[in-house]
């Protein structure tokens, strides 16, 4: 990937699916029936209906089922027309779990995790975090399968397959980042209004998956506060690993990681090939300032970004000016919001380069979640500074409107659902006085 991967991220800037399927439904019989209402283990009834946990319900707004259909459209209609809808605080594909922020009998006990700064973790806490992250890379997800091509030939047969918890999350981001043409349409997670809410749900999903495979209910994704830093201060031996001039990690357990969903580059601009089986390649990271855009964002950039009053503005894309979302995503200069340039989140990806420098592959880097935890923390700060703000309405692109379902996640969520304080979803951050 090397320096070419940085170009991939710049193409996103310049303009050049949880279709993770619940394991009980990951077969052709369920897809042909259009139904995913698994039996709750506690009472044997679909969606735990006998225990009042939920019920099987038909879903509207379905997508097409053509041979070459983009199954993200009209999500999740390509796969299922009937899904579990959970009552109260219950959650999960079969309503057999608790929703975000709840636990205990009847899911009536509030649970709040605090995502702390990496810099403030003790040596033991760092080791525990790295150990859990490594476990998620090598342990099969107990909940979900991915839907992917069986070969790298375009339009080859697709099937469900099990993957590690981290790879399932990688697949989700990769799938959502695929476009249908070189003009970059459609983007479900980037370049428009839903950017912060989509990544908020992604982090919640990954956090939940890691807790599930490690049995560590206290696990949280720590924050890499990148604003105002001279370099990647968490790219160290005890965390994410330093790298040499060739970009390869040299002193971390993560040097053994191989990228996932990285063998369909020839079909990046389409859905003909989706994550075929491949050996992958090592994680690369360069951590050097870009000659055109400079180093990591400054504290002044961060403060100017938080100071913007409008969450988003027309045309609700990468050219939206004076908009917090577009400044945070990194398409305009926070200190000069009339200037379109790489900044904030995008600039961090460009600075790190390598695997993180590729839109499609960036979620393979173990640093990705902590990088985005800071994006989410800034989003949360802005929400608290602007308590009367609501999710925008207007000529917003497909996939980013308030009532659009967040692709490709199951259970179903809408973008507007996450335009609320993170405390409603069972987590918070430490804020400086």
Q: Are 163 and 146 in contact (CB under 8 A)?
A: yes
Strand ranges, E, within 104-249: 109-110, 113-115, 140-149, 158-164
In the prediction, which pLDDT does 112 show?
Answer: 96
In the prediction, which pLDDT does 358 show?
Answer: 92
Residue 66 lies in a domain: no
Residue 43 lies in a domain: no
Distance CA 125, CA 160 (A): 36
Handedness of CA 42, 46, 47, 48 (dihedral sign): negative
Residue 42 lies in a domain: no
Q: What is the helix (H) or strand (E) element at residue 97, kind and residue range?
A: strand 97-98
Which of 170-184, 191-205, 243-257 has the lowest average pLDDT? 170-184
In the prediction, which pLDDT does 19 show?
Answer: 43
| pLDDT surpasses 90 at 431 | no
Neighbours of 403 (CB within 10 A): 11
| pLDDT surpasses 70 at 133 | yes
Distance CA 180, CA 177 (A): 10
Q: Strand pairing of 82-86 and 54-58?
A: antiparallel
178: CATH: 1.10.1280.10
DSSP code for 33: H
Q: Percentage of residues in the chain with pLDDT exceeding 70?
A: 91
- For all residues of the chain together, what is the average pLDDT? 91
In the prediction, which pLDDT does 265 show?
Answer: 62
Please, which pLDDT band fits residue 2 given cuts at 50, 70 and 90?
very low
| Nearby residues of 61 by Cβ (< 8 Å), 6 or more positions away | 74, 77, 405
Residue 121 lies in a domain: yes
Q: What is the pLDDT of residues 63-103, one digit of tens each?
A: 656 556 788 988 999 999 999 999 999 999 999 999 999 99
Residue 108 lies in a domain: no
Please, which pLDDT band fits residue 184 given cuts at 50, 70 and 90?
low
Total structural domains within the chain: 1
Handedness of CA 22, 28, 31, 37 (dihedral sign): negative
Please, which pLDDT band fits residue 1 given cuts at 50, 70 and 90?
very low
In the prediction, which pLDDT does 256 show?
Answer: 95
pTM of the model: 0.93
Residue 104 lies in a domain: no
| pLDDT surpasses 50 at 5 | no
Domain that holds residue 199: 4-22+117-429
In the prediction, which pLDDT does 337 show?
Answer: 97
Residue 156 lies in a domain: yes
In the prediction, which pLDDT does 278 show?
Answer: 84
Residue 238 structure tokens = 């005890």
In the prediction, which pLDDT does 365 show?
Answer: 98
Residue 424 lies in a domain: yes
Helical pair 299-306 and 344-352, crossing angle rounded to 10 deg? 150
Residue 397 structure tokens = 């692109």
> How large is the average pLDDT for residues 305-332?
98
In the prediction, which pLDDT does 113 show?
Answer: 96
In the prediction, which pLDDT does 14 show?
Answer: 32
In angstroms, how far is CA 428 from the centroid of its own chain?
18
CA distances from 418 to 197, 414, 425 (A): 6, 8, 9
Distance CA 393, CA 261 (A): 34
Q: What is the pLDDT of residues 339-348, one digit of tens each?
A: 999 999 999 9
């Amino acid at each position: 990937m090397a320096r070419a991967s940085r170009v991939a991220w710049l193409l996103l800037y310049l303009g050049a699916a949880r279709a993770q399927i619940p394991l009980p439904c990951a077969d052709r019989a369920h897809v042909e029936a259009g139904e995913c209402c698994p039996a709750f283990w506690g009472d044997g009834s679909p969606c735990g209906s006998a225990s009042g946990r939920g019920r099987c319900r038909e879903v509207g707004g379905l997508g097409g089922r053509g041979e070459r259909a983009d199954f993200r459209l009209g999500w999740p209609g390509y796969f299922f027309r009937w899904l579990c809808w959970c009552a109260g605080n219950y959650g999960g594909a079969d309503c057999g779990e608790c929703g975000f922020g709840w636990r205990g009998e009847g899911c009536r006990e509030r649970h709040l995790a605090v995502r702390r700064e990496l810099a403030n973790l003790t040596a033991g806490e760092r080791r525990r975090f790295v150990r859990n992250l490594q476990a998620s890379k090598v342990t099969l997800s107990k909940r979900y399968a991915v839907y992917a091509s069986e070969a790298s030939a375009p339009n080859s047969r697709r099937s469900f397959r099990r993957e590690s918890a981290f790879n399932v999350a990688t697949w989700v981001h990769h799938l959502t980042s695929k476009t249908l043409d070189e003009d970059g349409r459609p983007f479900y997670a980037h370049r428009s209004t839903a950017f912060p809410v989509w990544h908020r749900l992604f982090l919640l999903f990954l956090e939940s998956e890691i807790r599930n495979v490690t049995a560590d209910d206290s696990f949280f994704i720590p924050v890499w506060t990148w604003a105002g830093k001279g370099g990647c201060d968490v790219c160290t031996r005890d965390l994410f690993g330093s790298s040499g001039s060739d970009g390869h990690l040299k002193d971390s357990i993560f040097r053994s990681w191989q990228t996932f969903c990285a063998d369909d580059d020839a079909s990046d601009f389409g859905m003909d090939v989706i994550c075929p089986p491949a050996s992958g390649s090592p994680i690369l990271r360069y951590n050097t300032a870009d000659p055109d855009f400079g180093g990591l964002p400054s504290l002044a950039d961060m403060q100017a970004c938080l100071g913007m009053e409008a969450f988003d503005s027309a045309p609700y894309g990468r050219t939206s000016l004076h908009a917090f979302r577009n400044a945070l995503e990194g398409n305009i200069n926070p200190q000069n919001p009339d200037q379109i340039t790489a900044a904030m989140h995008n600039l961090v990806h460009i600075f790190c380069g390598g695997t993180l420098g590729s839109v499609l592959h960036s979620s393979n880097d173990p640093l990705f979640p902590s990088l985005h935890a800071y994006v989410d923390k800034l989003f949360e700060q802005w929400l608290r500074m602007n308590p009367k703000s609501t999710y925008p309405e207007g000529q917003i692109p497909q996939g980013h409107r308030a009532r659009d379902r967040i692709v490709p996640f199951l259970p179903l969520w809408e973008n507007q659902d996450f335009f609320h304080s993170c405390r409603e979803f069972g987590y918070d951050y430490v804020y400086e006085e």
